Amino acid sequence: MYSFEIVRPTSLADAVAALGQDEAQALAGGQTLIPSLKQRLAQPSVLVSLTAIAEMQGVSAEGGVLTLGGGTTHGTVAREAAAHYPALAALASNIGDPAVRNRGTVGGSLANNDPAACYPAAALASGATIVTNSREIAMEDYFQGMFTTALEEGEIITAVRFPIPEKAAYIKFEQPASRFALVGVFVAKFADGVRVAVTGASEEGVFRWTEAEEALSGNFSATALDGLTVSADGLMSDIHGSSAYRAHLIGVLTKRAVAAAA
């Protein structure tokens, strides 16, 4: 690693101020950033650790909305969100491995927007709102392609608000070594319609499968998806799976998610 300083503010205001320095970078759980630093893919002058900020921690549910502090770990979400939004808790409980889940955070995952990460699918399918130190960002405006989001330089995700669906499920076809999604599909059924978000597949990152949403909004059953296919154009192709294979998986996993939705 290149050399850098670490600061560990205890308030959001101090963290925002620290991120105003030249070449400062936010450090959440570090489960992606620290390996990247080891490979010298980043050269910050100062890392601003967000783990000591109490106001960014916690899980709460009120009025049909689950709010996660941006610094809440996957392990905490798995335990504390289960009673409110079981599909989201189940997603959190299958990210990485137990030690990774004790460090990695929901805010870190959504800020990084890895094209194979799980949380972007949950956020997009739920129609979540990203709350930062300066504003609220609607889901339609947030994801802007692989590893790219609407976040400005130095902007911190302080919380994420997930509307709780009537029924939901996330099915991940795991890449067995990394446990990232080779393809993952999150299906969420709300009173006013169904949302289907797909991660792991597109070169543009997470996306909504609108044809499936329309079919499922009229008839929420796996058979409603019969005959629907996804084009392989623009899907990722690598040693783990071709674009055609990923396209096929999207259809299969969406059916499984509908069948599993509770």
- The residues binding another protein (CB under 8 A) are 1-6, 8, 27, 30-31, 34-35, 37-38, 46-47, 49, 51, 75, 96-100, 102-103, 177, 179
Question: At 151, which helix (H) or strand (E)?
Answer: none
What's the DSSP call for residue 107?
Answer: H
Q: Which of residues 31 and 158 has its CB atom nearest to another protein in the complex? A: 31
> Rounded to the nearest whole angstrom, what is the least distance from the CB of residue 156 to another protein in the complex?
17
> Rounded to the nearest whole angstrom, what is the least distance from the CB of residue 8 to another protein in the complex?
6
> Rounded to the nearest whole angstrom, what is the least distance from the CB of residue 147 to another protein in the complex?
19
Q: Which of residues 32 and 217 has its CB atom nearest to another protein in the complex? A: 32
Q: Which of residues 108 and 127 has its CB atom nearest to another protein in the complex? A: 108
Q: Which of residues 76 and 113 has its CB atom nearest to another protein in the complex? A: 76
Identity at 129, one-letter amino acid code = T
Q: Where are the beta strands (DSSP E) in 51-128?
A: 59-62, 65-69
> Rounded to the nearest whole angstrom, what is the least distance from the CB of residue 12 to another protein in the complex?
18
Q: Where are the beta strands (DSSP E) in the chain?
A: 5-7, 24-27, 46-49, 59-62, 65-69, 129-132, 136-138, 157-163, 167-174, 181-190, 193-199, 207-208
Q: Which of 125, 181, 191, 169 has the alpha carbon at shortest distance from 259? A: 169
